[in-house]
Amino acid sequence: MGDSVSSARKRTAFFISDGTGLTVEGIGHSLLAQFRDQQVEQVTVPYVDSEARVNQVLQRIENAARESGLQPIIITSIVSDQIRKQLHQSSALMLDVFESYLAPLATLFGTDPARTVGISHGIADNRRYTARIDAVHFAMDNDDGRRTREFESADIILVGVSRSGKTPTCLYLALQFGLRAANYPITEEDMDSTSLPKILRPFQRKLFGLTIDPRRLVSIRQERRANSRYASPEQCEFEVRQVEQMLRRAQVPYLDATELSVEELATRLMSQAGIERRIG
């Protein structure tokens, strides 16, 4: 049962893929997050697609084992049987996603897996590629209220105070889901009343608000403009309160961005607003 861990000796987990490594890395992060008390060095090794590369990686794994005295972990999704077999020679604990799941799927389908590398993140088809890139350019062009004449063709328009997380969320929605996401900052000029700014009213159905804990907003704004009025507790509290009133009054749905990552904001707001992805 498990070897003991000292702070000096850190176990290493290797996320090994013949492609980008993003999938196994995601699995690895999720699994290891369930063992917070364990100190684990996490290393992603993408594009392991030749005998030479596997041998390099095997060497690295045995070094990690020897230096720490702790059995390393491998999480892998290598497709090639040949390369997987080489990898299985290591002394690490092996969690092999393809080995675990391809067999039951093959049985269900009554057909063998293709064992072809790197299909999942490929550009797949032109239509998908174009939709994605267009969405990215749309998000760039329609960031920060820079342009509003394309709001008509937006899938969603995020609104909120400056630095509430609108820009990264829009870009993520574009890259990951191909959505045309615009954003519009509610600035002080808009706060004389708690009605929606005029420019937004025709698009009420498409609006989604982000709000944020004023103390968190202060700390984010301080990083940007230390000791400014913009970053003062009074100003941040005023802006957040005004915008929340505005959103409630106009019945615009909103999320509190304080504790949420960009991924969480994007997926939660899609789910809450009932917006379907365009790609993926």
Span 177-216, contacts to its own copies by CB under 8 A: none
Two tokens, residue 66:
């020897």
The alpha carbons of the chain give a radius of gyration, in whole angstroms, of: 24
| Smallest separation, CB 204 to its own copies (Å) | 25
161 known ligand binder = yes
167 known ligand binder = yes
Q: Of all residues in the chain, what percent are helix, strand and coil, respectively (each to 5)?
A: 50, 15, 40
Strand partners, 208: 158
Residue 52 phi, psi (nearest 5): -60, -45
Give residues 245-264 in contact with its own copies (rule: CB under 8 A).
259-264
Is position 58 an interface residue for its own copies (rule: CB under 8 A)? no
- Whichever of 104 and 198 has its CB closer to its own copies, that residue is 104
- Among the listed residues 54, 136, 159, 210, the single contact to its own copies using CB under 8 A: 136
- Whichever of 168 and 202 has its CB closer to its own copies, that residue is 168
| Smallest separation, CB 23 to its own copies (Å) | 4
- Whichever of 75 and 83 has its CB closer to its own copies, that residue is 75
| Smallest separation, CB 236 to its own copies (Å) | 16
CB-based contacts of 22, cutoff 8 Å, min separation 6? 121
- Among the listed residues 119, 125, 233, 253, the single contact to its own copies using CB under 8 A: 119
- Among the listed residues 69, 168, 202, 233, the single contact to its own copies using CB under 8 A: 168
The site that binds its own copies (CB under 8 A) totals a number of residues, namely 87
Stretch that binds its own copies, among 80-88, 160-168, 191-199, 200-208 (CB under 8 A): 160-168
Stretch that binds its own copies, among 97-105, 180-188, 207-215, 231-239 (CB under 8 A): 97-105
Nearest to 135 by CA among 95, 177, 185: 177
Looking up tokens 């990552």 gives 261
Compute the distance between CA of residue 268 and CA of residue 230 in angstroms, rounded to an integer.
29
Nearest to 184 by CA among 174, 195, 170, 173: 170
- Among the listed residues 7, 8, 52, 114, the single contact to its own copies using CB under 8 A: 114
- For residue 249, what are the CA distances in angstroms to 134, 204, 269? 33, 12, 19
Is position 232 an interface residue for its own copies (rule: CB under 8 A)? no
- Burial label, 232 (beta-carbon count in 10 A; 0-12, 13-18, 19+): middle
Which residue ranges are tagged as binding site for ADP?
Answer: 160-167
